Amino acid sequence: MSSGTADPLGHLAAIISSSDDAIISKDLDGVIQTWNAAAERLFGYRADEAIGRHITLIIPADRTDEETYVISRIRSGLTVEHYETIRRRKDGSPIEISLSVSPIHSAAGTIVGASKIARDITERKRLERTAREAGRAKDEFLATLSHELRTPLNTVAGYIQMLQKDALPAEQQARVLEVMERNARALIRLVDDILDTSRIITGKMRIDLQPCVLAPLIEQAIASIEPAALARGLTLTRDIQPDLVVRADATRLAQVFWNLLSNAVKFTPPGGAIEVTARQNARVVLVVVTDTGMGIEPGDLPLVFQRFWQGSPASRLDHNGLGLGLALSRHFVELHGGRISATSAGAGLGTRFEIELPLPLEVPVPRPAATS
């Protein structure tokens, strides 16, 4: 069994050297005295570059008052515990840290300097910001969802009460029933979008790919939005190649076309135009929906297919929605092995959506059953 004398200072030096936190000491004038390996990693300065220089080496110019505050506490024999701030790396980039500072006493008990422990909290702060943003997004989503549900529900409930009280003239009842049906369908569509989004997030969304002719799916979507387009005085044209065949889930693909066309109607002012084309292009089918509507700012184009994105604040003032339609459309198109993109020259200059769908290698064109 060997014997020896413990070396407390050596032991302490080893702890400081191996610490994951930056440990720095300075005198009361702020001149750096020691600088461990973690400080080198955190701030980018080698020990020989930092020792002998003032601590403001790592303090941003707009935060030098913090050093005055810290030194005043140290001179009073007080500590600074877990002070969250920003410091500056050698390359000039900012870094978020938690700072603890304690006085250093001489053998006579006099305060001669300060020991600083700095911990990188960049990731923690990022997670906190993400959580706050998620909370705000959740609150905004719930508020929007409440509005989107209440608007059609209030309409339906109001008309039901009027019908129950026999308060509507007979000649108005047909129109009222049409309005109730339209609002009920809007509610169904809203609930379906939420459920589809949930299935996508949980990985439970499935599609059934079968050979189908594309033109009827597009015409089905056009027929559903045509009354709204005509009511707004929009010109609606189409140029659809009739014999295009793709492998598709007909319901999901029709949903994509409806989303694009209903958005075009919503965001195109009265008197504008919407055009739908579908042609074969090399080994893909290209479906294009173009409108002369309010357009999209260049900086917003990368965001249009994100869930819950509802456009710029100005566009949200006049148009409601949950911001799910385009996100669902992108997912459905990608499940078909295709691609969807949006282009716009800017605000007020219209929007162009393109869908590329792969052509099946060998798929016979489905034909209607023969009738006798």
pLDDT at position 17 over 70: no
Q: What integer best gives the mean pLDDT of the chain?
A: 86
Please list, residue by residue across 97-132, b when 16 or more beta carbons sit within 10 angstroms of its beta carbon and e when fewer do: bbbebbbbeeeeeeeebbbbbbbbbeeeeeeeeeee
Beta carbons of 281 and 262 less than 8 angstroms apart: no
- Across the range 339-357, mean pLDDT stands at 94
Q: pLDDT tens across 223-256, in order?
A: 988 988 998 999 999 999 999 999 999 989 999 9
Res 363: pLDDT? 44
Could you tell me the pLDDT band of residue 311, with boundaries at 50, 70 and 90?
Answer: low
Please list, residue by residue across 310-324, b when 16 or more beta carbons sit within 10 angstroms of its beta carbon and e when fewer do: bbeeebeeeeebbbb
Beta carbons of 96 and 84 less than 8 angstroms apart: yes
Q: What is the DSSP string of 88-135?
A: E-TTS-EEEEEEEEEEEE-TTS-EEEEEEEEEE-HHHHHHHHHHHHHH
pLDDT at position 312 over 50: yes
Distant-in-sequence, close-in-space partners of 225: CB < 8 Å, separation ≥ 6: 258, 261, 262, 265
pLDDT at position 360 over 90: no
The pTM is what? Answer: 0.58
- Across the range 284-298, mean pLDDT stands at 94
Q: pLDDT tens across 144-200, in order?
A: 778 778 878 888 888 888 888 888 888 888 888 888 888 888 788 888 888 888 887
What's CA 309's distance to the chain center, in Å?
7
- CA dist 127 and 133 (Å) reads 10
What's CA 280's distance to the chain center, in Å?
33
Beta-bridge partner residues of 336: none
- CA dist 93 and 60 (Å) reads 10
Q: pLDDT tens across 74-129, in order?
A: 999 999 999 999 999 999 999 999 999 999 999 999 999 999 999 999 999 999 99
User: 337 or 198: whose pLDDT is higher?
Assistant: 337
- CA dist 325 and 219 (Å) reads 19
User: 287 or 163: whose pLDDT is higher?
Assistant: 287
For the chain, list the domains and their CATH numbers.
8-120 (3.30.450.20), 126-201 (1.10.287.130), 210-358 (3.30.565.10)
User: 72 or 135: whose pLDDT is higher?
Assistant: 72
Res 15: pLDDT? 66
Res 364: pLDDT? 44
- CA dist 282 and 284 (Å) reads 6
Res 183: pLDDT? 82
- Across the range 58-86, mean pLDDT stands at 94
pLDDT at position 359 over 70: yes
Q: How many CB atoms lie within 10 A of CB 298?
A: 12
Q: Which of 149-158, 166-175, 297-306, 309-318 has the lowest mean pLDDT?
A: 309-318
Q: What is the DSSP string of 151-191?
A: HHHHHHHHHHHHHHTT-S-HHHHHHHHHHHHHHHHHHHHHH
- CA dist 3 and 101 (Å) reads 37
- CA dist 286 and 289 (Å) reads 10
Res 152: pLDDT? 81
What's CA 296's distance to the chain center, in Å?
17
Helices (H), the chain: 8-18, 37-43, 47-50, 64-75, 122-164, 170-201, 214-231, 250-267, 313-318, 325-335
* CA-based R_g, the chain, Å: 33
- CA dist 154 and 160 (Å) reads 10
Beta carbons of 264 and 351 less than 8 angstroms apart: yes
- What is each CA distance from 29 to 46, 76, 176, 249, in whole angstroms? 21, 15, 82, 73
Q: How many CB atoms lie within 10 A of CB 295?
A: 21
- Across the range 137-145, mean pLDDT stands at 76
pLDDT at position 276 over 80: yes
Q: C-alpha dihedral over 250, 252, 253, 258, to 10 degrees?
A: 120
- Across the range 319-329, mean pLDDT stands at 77
209 Rama sector, left if φ>0, alpha if ψ -120 to 50, beta otherwise: beta
Beta-bridge partner residues of 212: 246
Res 371: pLDDT? 45
